[in-house]
């Protein structure tokens, strides 16, 4: 049905032809007998030039009535125009006004504060910059799927409503499940661990929820995570897969999102320079480095937001921080046989000050050790019995990781805050629109 429909993204193939653009007026300029309408159709942007002498007074009148954000159909000849950012423009012949906006559009040229923009997120997403970020998001989602499929992983959709926590009990969203307590999933990982004995290598890609009381530029309460889990895989191989995934996502981004990256004015050099293998620091080395850089982090403490920023302002490549103290990490991580106070884990930190984008580890595969860790963490064996079962029936060395997609996008787009990377962000202070 849409095969004959013209979209601006295909402008190049229609040079010299008459095209019809269905879209919205996002900007407008006039100089006496010429009106320039800036039109977008969802796939791209174009200038539509309306010359009074050429179109006659009726069409010209319509062009003057087309206010900002009015929906419109313009018909005209597509021409090359090297002076325009798109390289093309339309010489208009005909205009249909679909819906003329009578009120002043709330988002104008002046600088609005973030709160105003977020309250008008339903309109803000129309801006060129937000369009570009959301297009990049869409492409990254596709690239994640492509990567896992290409690497012979099977997609395995884990539940959102769960009877137990995955990542500690402090950030759980609780709900009343027919008189029983249930929680929104913090990560699909535990269920992916069940899947490996059926499917070997699996991944999920879903919204997850954390009642984060933190007010940082890195935290949302609803965000998207892609987890993967691999049977017969140790920490070392887990790290390799992460490097491959990140390199693949960056390659796809640079290849398919050139226009979008240009719109948001991303400096591409730091991204083009990213190269695996990424540097690594053990937790102990990391603490030393942090102290050198001026942090007052104490032995045994988890890295705070500020620590991540200081550390990653210092690095031009993503950095793995490995072997954290078991106290600051989740119960399921495997203890380091060489140093039982540490776990076989690696967090991947993004450069340019961005900090953690991936959390991952080798998992505890020994029934007794895991049972003890669960008891120590006061996890009910009733709720987690099924998870312990996995160590009873064909337990294997296995590992996996979870990438926070908003954090990744914030980095590659070099955004101030993760809230611009998701269509309708949810944070401690906001769940509307
Ligand atoms: O490090 P986390 O908590 O790891 C897990 O959930 C593991 N179960 C993953 C696994 O091993 N399969 O979360 C993974 C990633 C973080 O590195 C971060 O990028 C992102 O999820 N993340 C958040 N993103 C936005 N807002 C928040 N509140 C986030 N919390 C974590
Ligand atoms: Mg983490």
Q: Quickly list DSSP for 374-417.
A: HHHTT--HHHHHHHHHTTTSS---EEEEEEEHHHHHHHHTT-S-
> Which 3 state secondary structure label does DSSP give 188?
coil
Summarised one tens digit per residue, pLDDT across range 258-287 is: 999 999 999 999 999 999 999 999 999 999
Instruction: Give the pLDDT score at 109.
Output: 72
Residues facing 349 on adjacent strands = 319, 356
d(CA 40, CA 71): 10
Predicted confidence (pLDDT) at residue 2 exceeds the cutoff of 60: no
Average pLDDT over residues 130-159: 98
Summarised one tens digit per residue, pLDDT across range 245-257 is: 999 999 999 999 9
Instruction: Give the pLDDT score at 84.
Output: 85
Alpha helices (H) in 179-234, listed in sequence order: 189-199
d(CA 244, CA 402): 14
Average pLDDT over residues 324-339: 96
Instruction: Give the pLDDT score at 3.
Output: 62
> Is the beta carbon of 204 within 6 A of some atom in ligand 1?
no
Summarised one tens digit per residue, pLDDT across range 197-229 is: 999 999 999 999 999 888 899 999 999 999 999
Which of the ligands is closest to the CA of residue 214?
1
d(CA 116, CA 70): 22
Question: Which residue ranges does the chain devote to CATH 2.40.50.140?
Answer: 8-99
Instruction: Give the pLDDT score at 412.
Output: 98
Domain 121-421 part of CATH 3.30.930.10: yes
209 CA to middle of ligand 1, Å? 10
Instruction: Give the pLDDT score at 16.
Output: 96
Superfamily of domain 8-99: Nucleic acid-binding proteins (2.40.50.140)
Whether residue 205 contacts residue 226, with contact meaning beta carbons closer than 8 Å, is answered with yes
431 CA to middle of ligand 2, Å? 24
Instruction: Give the pLDDT score at 332.
Output: 97
414 CA to middle of ligand 1, Å? 19
Whether residue 147 contacts residue 248, with contact meaning beta carbons closer than 8 Å, is answered with yes
d(CA 159, CA 191): 8
Whether residue 97 contacts residue 63, with contact meaning beta carbons closer than 8 Å, is answered with no
**Residues in the chain, how many?**
433
Tell which one of 158, 173, 225, 230 to mutate to probe ligand 1, the residue whose CB is within 8 A of the most ligand atoms: 225
401 CA to middle of ligand 1, Å? 9
Average pLDDT, the chain: 96
Whether residue 51 contacts residue 79, with contact meaning beta carbons closer than 8 Å, is answered with no
> Is the beta carbon of 227 within 6 A of some atom in ligand 1?
yes
DSSP letter at 299? T
Examine residue 433 and say whether the peptide bond preceding it is cis (omega within 30 degrees of 0): yes
Look at residues 8, 26, 13, 36 and name the one whose alpha carbon lies nearest to residue 92: 36
Instruction: Give the pLDDT score at 382.
Output: 87
d(CA 311, CA 304): 11
> Is the beta carbon of 357 within 6 A of some atom in ligand 1?
yes
DSSP letter at 366? -
pLDDT band of residue 300 (cuts 50, 70, 90) is: very high
d(CA 381, CA 166): 14
Instruction: Give the pLDDT score at 383.
Output: 87
> Is the beta carbon of 402 within 6 A of some atom in ligand 1?
yes
Tell which one of 168, 189, 195, 359 to mutate to probe ligand 1, the residue whose CB is within 8 A of the most ligand atoms: 359
Average pLDDT over residues 417-430: 96
DSSP labels, 61-83: HHHHH--TT-EEEEEEEEEE-TT
358 CA to middle of ligand 1, Å? 6
> Which 3 state secondary structure label does DSSP give 276?
coil
**142: which residues sit within 8 A by CB, 6+ positions away?**
252
Whether residue 37 contacts residue 23, with contact meaning beta carbons closer than 8 Å, is answered with no
Average pLDDT over residues 318-338: 97
Atom of ligand 1 nearest to the CA of 361: 11
Question: Which residue ranges does the chain devote to CATH 3.30.930.10?
Answer: 121-421
d(CA 11, CA 46): 9
Atom of ligand 1 nearest to the CA of 358: 17
Atom of ligand 1 nearest to the CA of 408: 19
């Amino acid at each position: 049905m849409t095969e004959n429909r013209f979209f601006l993204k295909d402008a190049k193939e229609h040079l010299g032809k008459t095209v019809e653009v269905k879209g919205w007026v996002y900007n407008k300029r006039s100089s006496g007998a010429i009106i320039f309408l800036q039109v977008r159709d969802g796939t791209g942007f174009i200038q539509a030039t309306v010359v009074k002498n050429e179109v006659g007074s009726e069409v010209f009148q319509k062009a003057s009535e087309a206010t900002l954000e009015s929906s419109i159909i313009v018909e005209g000849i597509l021409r090359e125009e090297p002076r325009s950012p798109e390289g093309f423009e339309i010489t208009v012949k005909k205009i249909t006004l679909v819906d003329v906006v009578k009120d002043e559009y709330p988002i104008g040229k002046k600088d609005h504060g973030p709160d105003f923009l977020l309250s008008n997120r339903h309109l803000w997403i129309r801006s060129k910059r937000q369009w570009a970020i959301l297009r990049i998001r869409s492409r990254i989602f596709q690239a994640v799927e492509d990567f896992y499929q290409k690497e012979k992983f099977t997609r395995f959709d884990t539940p959102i409503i769960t009877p137990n926590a995955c990542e500690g009990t402090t950030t759980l969203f609780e709900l009343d499940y027919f008189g029983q307590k249930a929680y929104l999933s913090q990560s699909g990982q535990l269920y992916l661990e069940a899947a490996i004995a059926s499917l070997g290598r699996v991944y999920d890609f879903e919204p997850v929820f954390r009642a984060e009381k933190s007010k940082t530029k890195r935290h949302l309460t609803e965000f998207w995570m892609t987890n993967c889990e691999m049977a017969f895989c140790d920490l070392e191989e887990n790290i390799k897969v992460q490097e491959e995934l990140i390199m693949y996502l960056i390659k796809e981004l640079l290849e398919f999102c050139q226009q979008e990256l240009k719109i948001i004015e991303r400096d591409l050099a730091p991204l083009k320079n990213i190269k695996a293998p990424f540097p690594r620091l053990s937790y102990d080395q990391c603490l030393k480095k942090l102290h050198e850089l001026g942090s007052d982090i104490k032995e045994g403490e988890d890295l705070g937001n500020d620590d991540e920023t200081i550390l990653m302002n210092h690095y031009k490549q993503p950095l793995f921080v490995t072997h954290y103290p078991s106290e600051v990490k989740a119960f399921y991580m495997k203890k380091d046989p060489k140093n039982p106070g540490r776990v076989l884990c690696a967090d991947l930190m993004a450069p340019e000050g961005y900090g953690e984008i991936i959390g991952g580890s080798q998992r505890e595969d020994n029934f007794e050790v895991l049972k003890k860790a669960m008891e120590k963490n006061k996890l009910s064996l009733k709720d987690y019995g099924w998870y312990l079962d996995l160590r009873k029936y064909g337990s294997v060395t296995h590992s996996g990781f979870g990438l926070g997609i908003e954090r990744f996008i914030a980095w590659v787009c070099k955004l101030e805050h993760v809230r611009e990377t998701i269509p309708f962000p949810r944070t401690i202070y906001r769940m509307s629109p």
